[in-house]
Structure 1
Amino acid sequence: MEAQRTRSPMSSRRSLEDLSRNPNTMKTKASPSDVPTPPDHYAPPVLQGIHPILQWVLYLSKRFLQVPPIVKASFYFGLVIICSSLSYYLDPYRGFYFFRKESFLNQWFVKLSWGWTFYLLLAFFALAGYLESDGRIKKIKRNVARLLVGTATWYFVTTVFVRIEHHTARCSVMDYHSRKECEAAGQTWSYFDISGHAFLLIYCSLLILEESRAFFKWEKADRLDTDEDAGKFDQEIKPRVLLVMRVLAVALAMLAMLWDGMLVITLIYYHSFIQRFMGVFFGVAGWFLTYKVWYPNYWPGLPEDVSPLLTAQSS
């Protein structure tokens, strides 16, 4: 016992000496550098100074955007079956604010989903054109052309839905031929209402996945650019523009996640099964006919085929 008592002050003294020589052996508070960075093979210099959590946000957003669209499209057909099966059991929760049509997510995002998708992608293409505005503007026009085709697809399909609704509308009493008269008489106005929200949310989500391929192509081209004689633009301006493009990629990923979440609500609480299924079918069909049939064979082409940076690298 006496020997142990005499050794303990010496061991304590040695520990204090070790700490004085290497103060990093004891940390009272974790610093941002202690947070592990995501397993990304490429960490651009402009991202090395930000918090690792933000790097994780970018990493996970990129992984979400890299889901193959064909896998996502197949998933939607299974989702409509699962959500319809749960509709009866989840009906008591229909009154929850975020499940109602009056929610701000439905009013300001879902109903304007094509506008959100269109302008975010347009901003990305504008920055791409700013980076490579040296005579290759035709390739940027192809990107914008796909958005215009998407706008025409959205307008055409929703117009068809409205026409179907108009031609199938009936009152429970045949004496009334308008919805206002029918409901004023206390009768039921019925019609075949294909889920326009299901169509649009799926079409926007799949379009984001397809167009985001250009983002990864830009990053790849940026990594290949090892010009040591780069000027001020390449050294100072270009990295900041690319950072904004990465922020847009995160915004697009979050937007696609929101579309998927609102789609689940639509498939559970609104429309009949056949109306939901047809909405899903038209959303997937619109994507398939453009990105799998039209663009691989005709102008304006697929996103990965028209990246200006890749063209410059291969030339």
Structure 2
Amino acid sequence: MKSAQEVHITESVLRGITPRRPLRQNMTPLQASEESDDAKEEEKSSQSWLSVWENIICWCRFYLLIPSNAKIAYYLSTLLALSIVQHYVDLPHLESITGKHSVLNQVFVKKGWGFTLAVFLPYRFVSLFLHPKLRVSLMQLIVRSALTTFFFFIWCQVLFPVIDNFSATCIAGNETLPLTKAQCLSTEGRQYFSFDISGHSYLLTYCVLIMMEESKEIIYFVWLKRQLFDEAARIRKEDSSWPDFDEKQVKSLRRRFPKVSPVVAFTFFNMSILALLWDFMLLVTTLYYHTFAEKVIGTVLALLSWAFLYRRVFPWLFSLKIFRS
């Protein structure tokens, strides 16, 4: 969860603080005048793109930056409520939206982890160019991408299918046949039963929580924008855990920030749209597919995988010297 200071930073910038270039201390009057003229030119050229990306962040932050505890409570409560509806109400299918062969399911959800990587990796990669320790930030991004992919793969591609096959039973009349799911269902009159843990419940919950975690990088952008362009609202170094920049770094960041921030806003917007789609498809899964136990196990495993990685593994791993220097 974000600290109170981070929330204050985000809220202040999104209320429309006018960016100003901070002036260096101990300057001569001539230097101050030249610095002021440069600041005015920068302000004119930067007003348009600042307002655009700040508005995008303002629109999207309400969805991606909500507290994780609130999101978890939402997932568990809707899982219970919609499973009850599924049990007592025979809901009709809208095949183009809720069917197994719908475009949403076959194109998006079936390749859900790939789409998630394709959205959050560009967002985090672009952010590297506004960090003082690019190599360290890149190493951390690679590690997070590798480990989150491993947890998706080991559950959805390995363990869930193994459990499904191990618990499978094919029945034809009063006879039990040792057939695979495809073989069993290839002939009419046969019934296939198994404990099929919901891979959709795991994948969609897992993907949204990871995008929420990765989207918190936007707090750094908000802070950095204030440090570079807003003298009145600058935060004292002793009150901030963010990096300190020398004059050379500040000049470089001022040049790069206007070029990078529109890409950040665009990819941040893409993550919001994809998170909305995943949450919608999770509602479809909960309403139409799997038993209550299968959905609960899939959802709980996703929550535990996310918490293990982002609350235990990554904080410990990135505190090691190799990831700090």
TM-score range (shorter-chain normalised) is 0.7 to 0.9
Shift of 1:201: 0.4
Q: Write out per-residue CA displacement over residues 127-166 of structure 1, whole angstroms, 9 at most, x where no aligned residue.
A: 122334x654122211221111100000111111111001
Q: Give the 3-state SS of the residue equivalent to 2:108 in structure 1.
A: helix
Deviation at 1:70, TM superposition (A): 2.2
Structure 2 regions of 5+ residues with no counterpart?
1-12, 20-42, 230-245
Q: Is the 8 A contact 2:124 2:217 kept in 1?
A: no
> Do the aligned partners of residues 281 and 47 (structure 1) sit closer, same or farther apart at CA in structure 2, a change above 3 Å counting?
farther
Q: Determine the structure 1 residue equivalent to 2:317.
A: 299
- What is the 5 A alignment of 1:101-112? 101-112=100-111
Asked if residue 277 in structure 1 is aligned to residue 279 in structure 2, the reply is no
Mark the CA change 1:143 to 1:50 in structure 2 (over 3 Å): closer, same or farther.
Answer: closer
Deviation of 1:94 after TM superposition, in Å, equals: 1.4
Specify which of 214, 218, 223 is matched with residue 221 of structure 2.
218
Deviations 1:21-69 (A, max 9, x none): xxxxxxxxxxxxxxxxx96344666784379898654312012111111
Residue 62 of structure 2 aligns to which amino acid in structure 1? R
Change (3 A) 1:209 1:279: same
How far 1:285 moved relative to its partner?
1.0
**RMSD of aligned residue pairs (Cα, Å):** 3.0
Structure-2 separation of matches of 1:204 and 1:273: 21
Deviation at 1:95, TM superposition (A): 3.2
My pick for the range that moved more, 206-215 or 99-108, is 99-108
Q: 1:228 to 1:293 in 2, by over 3 A?
A: closer
Instruction: Select 1:145's aligned residue among 143, 146, 164.
Output: 143
1:287 aligns with 2:306: yes
Q: Report if the CA contact (8 A) 2:228-2:250 is conserved.
A: no
State the partner residue of 1:168: 167
2:282 is the counterpart of 1:263: yes
Q: Measure, in 1, the Cα distance between the counterparts of 2:318 and 2:52.
A: 38
Measured in 2, the distance between the counterparts of 1:214 and 1:221 equals 11
**TM score, norm. by length of structure 1:** 0.74
- Give the C-alpha shift of residue 228 in structure 1: 8.6
User: If you compute each CA radius of gyration, which structure gives the higher value, 1 or 2?
Assistant: 1
1:10-25 matches, cutoff 5 A: none
- Structure 1: segments with no counterpart, 5+ residues: 1-37
2:124–2:214: 8 Å Cα contact kept in structure 1?
A: no
TM-score (norm 2): 0.72
Q: Is the 8 A contact 1:47 1:55 kept in 2?
A: no
The aligned amino acid for 2:169 is R
CA deviations on 1:91-124 (whole Å, 9 max, x unpaired) are 3331342111222121221111111111222112
Compare 84-93 and 239-248 and name the one that shifted more.
84-93
Q: What are the residue-to-residue correspondences of 1:110-189 with 2, within 5 Å?
A: 110-132=109-131, 136-158=134-156, 159-173=158-172, 174-178=175-179, 179-183=181-185, 184=187, 186-189=189-192
1:125 offset after TM fit, Å? 2.4
Percent identity between the two aligned chains: 25
**Closer/same/farther in 2, CA of residues 177 and 53 from structure 1, 3 Å limit:** same
The answer to whether 1:83 aligns with 2:102 is: no
SS state of the match for residue 93, structure 1?
Answer: coil
Q: Deviations over 1:182-216 (max 9, x none)?
A: 33262101111111011000001000111111121
